């Protein structure tokens, strides 16, 4: 990164990542509102606590500087030491790395230092305090009273706070070399902090990037982790030596190295200047010798030549031990070929076809995963409670019948059990009675649950996972609701990693559905990707956006058989399409769109189903009530359909009026095909706006193109049951829109024509 560039982000998605990394007490937040003068005229920070959770979006945008305490009811996933001394970045960062290579230094708001350490999982706060106090003592040895021991976090009491980074322009993260990191480089370093040779790549500058990259590539290769190589290259500071990258990726020059702890420790020490840097030309020369030796000499000679890159007998301090690498001399006996055949099954055409085991038609299937995705706060948890209630009681889920009822276990990691009781009581009032034949079980945020433990190399079931399997069997659970999906794993998990996501879903969650002979339904967050759009004032559902909006690795969407997406109504959509038709006093904040984004077994609905959120009072033990939200179906989609149908009819009539222009161009064509753009250019001068110099010509072209695409792509059912595409013309031809994405040249959209022989024969 060049000096002076920012390491900050204002992305809402990144705010969610920061919230996961810097978990803090949600009951109160420390606000910093500039400075104030005390009675003696001394300038002090104007800080105060408010009983509310931190607003990370406002914080990273710099509109509200916030902090908090890291003790979360006896748990903590990060810690920090406050060094209140102005120290040059390279000096401080190198010192911090020597103390603990997992420390990531940040500039404090005052331009001094906060040394953060991250644990990736929720640890007992006593253990975290013990660890961070050792780090505090090491800094105190270096900087004495400038280490503000009262600000070290977390603390047992939970009553002190620390200002969080990523707010002011000052608060950058730094690399061990003392260079500012971008947000992506910081996340990379955080993810790989337990593998120092990989983590060091974040923001790495010269000298020594080539040497480090080949060591990392060799390390990844030996551990079957080469899928991370591109991430490593991206994390380096503007590394653009394409020729060298090709030597690694194509020529595989790294595969001749055996990288052990000795070589790793030496390289890390060189990078942070704890040891003098070895000249890279010597290493290149050594590598060339290694390649030659591998081709011409014995293993014994090879071992003698590459000793600098092999594992030491002992593991140096400050390095995570790795699994031993097999000795190159070990030769396994040749495996005998297996001649047994794989069992396969013939389809004869005489099989009796059994119906699919639907649980709710189009939404839930036995032994499958259904996802409910949406932005935070859109109402996923509300919808999931309603679905759980319907599955247990047999009441309609909006307009859909429950085919198979069963016992339901709702695992709601962000709601208390009492909140589930309130929501299900509201469901009883609005959806229908509960006959008690099947049970609704629950587990809330007060009951921590982790099903899968991830390490950097593998994933395994936790003790609670086996306990859940036992519960499924003893309580005859048919359905499990997980909300949100991300909360039921622990360890070094990366939701953007397909390998992690695949293991989580396919190896642990879907097997639960198979074991229950039922379904797993999971709530999951989305990016802020709009699932609806407006074209020529016509409201369109973007099913592809709805499908791809789910946050994280694509393998999640691939593993789910069904995806339901929730889209909040926007003010713009409301005013353009619905406001004039709704007279009951409601507005856009009351409505959410339900979109069928994916079904592996049936056509998804093309229209959005608009749901209205209403507040339902639920009686409580004190004689009063608590309110909660419930969704109801609405007729808003009828408004959309009516307006879209009217717009389509207008476009069709307009296109029919332009047929003489199309016919003229078609007469000069050799194969009854013309480009859509040729028609657009011909019609352009005829548009009223063409003479208006204030209207951009491209805007007019886009308007004409959309009308043509809409009008010529319509379909009409004839009296004899056939469907005619495009527009029927008096000259005996049908004209229709044709897309050819494989066509050479710029033109991909055409208008074609063909004789309508059925009409011609009737004449």
* b/e sequence 246-256, b meaning 16+ C-beta within 10 Å: ebbeeeebbeb
Residue 535's DSSP bridge partners are 538
Question: Band of the pLDDT at 7, cuts 50, 70, 90?
Answer: very low
Q: What percent of the chain has pLDDT over 90?
A: 41
**706 pLDDT higher than 90:** no
Of the CA atoms within 13 Å of residue 260, those in its CB half-sphere come to 18
End-to-end Cα, the chain, rounded Å: 75
- Give the model's pLDDT for residue 740: 79
Residue 96, classed as helix, strand or coil, is helix
- Give the model's pLDDT for residue 529: 66
Domains belonging to the chain, first-starting first, are 12-60+70-191 (3.90.920), 196-309 (no CATH), 367-635 (3.40.50.300), 658-762 (no CATH)
**pLDDT tens for residues 724-752?**
578 888 888 888 888 877 777 778 889 98
Mean pLDDT value across the chain: 82
Mean pLDDT confidence for 377-383: 93
- Give the model's pLDDT for residue 332: 37
Question: Band of the pLDDT at 320, cuts 50, 70, 90?
Answer: very low
CB of 209 closer than 8 Å to CB of 236:
yes
Mean pLDDT confidence for 708-716: 76
**359 pLDDT higher than 50:** yes
Which residues make Cβ contacts (< 8 Å) with residue 595, sequence separation at least 6? 531, 541, 543, 546, 564, 565, 566, 567, 605, 608, 609
Identify the CA nearest to 164 among candidates 92, 96, 108: 108
Residue 739, classed as helix, strand or coil, is strand
**558 pLDDT higher than 80:** yes
- Give the model's pLDDT for residue 647: 65
**287 pLDDT higher than 70:** no
Spatial separation of the C-alpha atoms in residues 529 and 509, rounded to whole Å: 26
DSSP character for 550? B
- Give the model's pLDDT for residue 282: 40
* Helix (H), strand (E), coil (C) string for 425-491: HHHHHHHCCCCCCCCEEEECCCCCCCCEEECCCCEEECHHHHHHHHHHHHCCEEEEEEECHHHHEEE
- Give the model's pLDDT for residue 756: 61
Mean pLDDT confidence for 161-181: 88
* Least-confidence region, from 98-107, 533-542, 588-597: 533-542
- Cis bond before residue 536 (omega within 30° of 0): no
Residue 460's DSSP bridge partners are 453
**pLDDT tens for residues 612-632?**
999 999 999 999 999 999 999
DSSP character for 721? S
**507 pLDDT higher than 50:** yes
Question: Band of the pLDDT at 693, cuts 50, 70, 90?
Answer: confident
DSSP character for 376? T
Backbone dihedral region for residue 651 (phi beyond 0: left; psi -120 to 50: alpha; all else: beta): alpha
**344 pLDDT higher than 60:** yes
Mean pLDDT confidence for 394-415: 95
**286 pLDDT higher than 50:** no
**pLDDT tens for residues 76-97?**
999 999 999 999 999 999 999 9
**pLDDT tens for residues 670-681?**
788 999 999 999
- Between the alpha carbon of residue 544 and those of residues 58, 364, 530, 532, 599, the distances in Å are 30, 20, 10, 10, 12
Spatial separation of the C-alpha atoms in residues 253 and 239, rounded to whole Å: 18
- Token pair listed for 426: 């509201």
**37 pLDDT higher than 80:** no
- Give the model's pLDDT for residue 738: 85
- Give the model's pLDDT for residue 140: 95
- Token pair listed for 434: 């509960």
- Give the model's pLDDT for residue 317: 39
Spatial separation of the C-alpha atoms in residues 629 and 616, rounded to whole Å: 6
**pLDDT tens for residues 308-317?**
333 332 333 3
- Give the model's pLDDT for residue 256: 78
Higher pLDDT, 282 or 136: 136
- Give the model's pLDDT for residue 298: 33
The backbone torsions φ and ψ at residue 658, rounded to the nearest 5 degrees and listed phi first, read: -95, 0
DSSP character for 694? T
Spatial separation of the C-alpha atoms in residues 367 and 512, rounded to whole Å: 8
Mean pLDDT confidence for 148-166: 87
Spatial separation of the C-alpha atoms in residues 62 and 9, rounded to whole Å: 10
Question: Band of the pLDDT at 296, cuts 50, 70, 90?
Answer: very low
- Give the model's pLDDT for residue 288: 37
- Give the model's pLDDT for residue 284: 38
**pLDDT tens for residues 225-280?**
889 999 999 999 888 888 899 999 888 888 877 777 777 888 888 888 766 544 43
Mean pLDDT confidence for 584-592: 88
Spatial separation of the C-alpha atoms in residues 235 and 455, rounded to whole Å: 21
- Between the alpha carbon of residue 260 and those of residues 53, 84, 197, 307, 647, the distances in Å are 45, 38, 11, 10, 69
Give the burial class of 300: count Cβ atoms within 10 A of its Cβ; 0-12 exposed, 13-18 middle, 19 or more buried. Answer: exposed
Q: What angle, rounded to 10 degrees, do the helices at 380-393 and 417-431 form?
A: 60
- Token pair listed for 114: 């906060």
- Token pair listed for 110: 């005052």
* Least-confidence region, from 63-72, 216-225, 530-539: 530-539
**pLDDT tens for residues 445-479?**
999 899 999 988 889 999 999 999 999 999 999 99
* Least-confidence region, from 13-17, 140-144, 332-336, 566-570: 332-336
CB of 364 closer than 8 Å to CB of 562:
yes
Question: Band of the pLDDT at 134, cuts 50, 70, 90?
Answer: very high
- Give the model's pLDDT for residue 200: 93
């Amino acid at each position: 990164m060049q000096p002076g560039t920012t390491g900050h982000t204002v992305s809402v998605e990144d705010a969610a990542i920061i919230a996961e990394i810097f978990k803090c007490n949600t009951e109160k937040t420390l606000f910093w509102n500039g400075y104030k003068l005390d009675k003696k005229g001394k300038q002090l920070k104007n800080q105060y606590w408010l009983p509310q959770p931190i607003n990370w979006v406002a914080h990273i945008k710099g509109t509200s500087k916030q902090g908090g305490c890291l003790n979360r009811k006896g748990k903590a996933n990060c810690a920090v030491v406050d060094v209140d001394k102005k120290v040059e970045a390279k000096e401080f960062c190198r010192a911090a790395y020597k103390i603990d290579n997992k420390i990531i230094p940040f500039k404090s708001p005052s331009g001094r230092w906060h040394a953060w350490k991250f644990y990736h999982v929720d640890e007992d706060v006593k253990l975290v305090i013990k660890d961070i106090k050792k780090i505090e003592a090491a800094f105190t040895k270096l900087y004495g009273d400038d280490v503000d021991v009262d600000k070290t976090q977390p603390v047992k009491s939970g009553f002190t706070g620390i200002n969080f980074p990523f707010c002011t322009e000052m608060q950058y993260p730094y690399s061990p070399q003392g260079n500012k990191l971008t947000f992506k480089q910081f996340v990379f370093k955080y993810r790989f902090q337990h593998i120092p040779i990989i983590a060091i790549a974040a923001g790495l500058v010269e000298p020594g990037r080539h040497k480090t990259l080949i060591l990392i590539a060799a390390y990844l290769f030996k551990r079957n982790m080469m899928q991370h190589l591109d991430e490593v290259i991206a994390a380096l500071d503007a590394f653009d030596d394409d020729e060298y990258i090709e030597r690694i990726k194509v020529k595989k020059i790294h595969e001749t190295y055996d990288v052990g702890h000795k070589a790793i420790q030496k390289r890390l020490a060189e990078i942070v200047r704890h040891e003098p840097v070895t000249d890279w030309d010597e290493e290149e020369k050594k590598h060339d010798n290694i390649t030659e030796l591998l081709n011409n000499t014995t293993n014994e000679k090879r071992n003698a030549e590459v000793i600098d890159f092999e594992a030491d007998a002992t593991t140096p301090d400050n390095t995570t031990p790795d699994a031993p690498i097999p000795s190159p001399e070990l030769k396994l006996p040749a495996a005998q070929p297996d001649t047994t055949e794989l069992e396969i099954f013939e389809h004869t055409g005489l099989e009796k076809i059994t119906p699919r085991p639907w649980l709710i038609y189009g939404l839930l299937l036995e032994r499958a995963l259904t996802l409910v995705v949406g932005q935070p706060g859109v109402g996923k948890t509300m919808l999931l409670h309603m679905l759980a209630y319907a599955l247990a009681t047999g009441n309609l889920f909006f307009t859909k019948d429950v085919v198979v009822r069963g016992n339901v276990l709702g695992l709601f990691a962000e709601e208390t059990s009492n909140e589930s009781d309130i929501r299900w009581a509201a469901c009883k009032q609005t959806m229908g009675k509960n006959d008690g034949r099947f049970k609704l079980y629950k587990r809330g945020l007060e009951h921590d649950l982790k099903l899968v433990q991830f390490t950097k190399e593998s994933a395994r079931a936790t003790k609670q996972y086996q306990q859940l399997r036992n519960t499924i069997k003893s309580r005859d659970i048919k359905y499990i609701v997980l909300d949100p999906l991300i909360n039921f794993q622990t360890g070094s998990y990366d939701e953007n990693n397909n390998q992690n996501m695949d293991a989580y879903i396919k190896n642990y969650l879907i097997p639960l559905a198979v074991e229950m002979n039922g379904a797993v339904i999971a709530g999951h967050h989305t990016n802020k990707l709009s699932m609806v759009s407006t074209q020529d004032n016509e409201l369109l559902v973007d099913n592809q956006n709805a499908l791809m909006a789910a946050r994280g690795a694509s393998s999640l969407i691939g593993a789910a058989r069904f995806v339901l997406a929730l889209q909040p109504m926007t003010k713009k959509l409301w005013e353009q399409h619905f406001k004039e038709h709704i007279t009951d006093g409601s507005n856009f904040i009351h409505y959410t769109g339900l979109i069928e984004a994916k079904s592996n077994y049936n056509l998804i609905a093309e229209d959005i189903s608009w749901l209205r959120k209403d507040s339902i009072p639920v009686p409580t033990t004190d004689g009063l009530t608590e309110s909660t939200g419930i969704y109801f179906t609405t007729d808003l989609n009828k408004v959309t359909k009516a307006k879209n149908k009217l717009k389509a009819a207008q476009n069709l009539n307009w296109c029919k009026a332009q047929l003489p222009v199309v016919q003229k161009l078609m007469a000069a064509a050799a194969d009854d095909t013309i480009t859509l753009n040729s028609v657009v250019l011909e019609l352009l001068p005829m548009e009223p706006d063409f003479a208006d110099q204030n209207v951009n010509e491209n805007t007019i072209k886009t308007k004409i193109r959309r009308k043509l695409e809409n009008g010529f792509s319509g379909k009409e059912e004839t009296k004899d049951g056939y469907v005619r595409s495009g527009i029927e013309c008096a000259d005996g031809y049908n004209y229709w829109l044709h897309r050819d994405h494989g066509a050479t040249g710029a033109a991909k959209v055409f208008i074609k024509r063909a004789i309508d022989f059925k009409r011609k024969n009737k004449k």
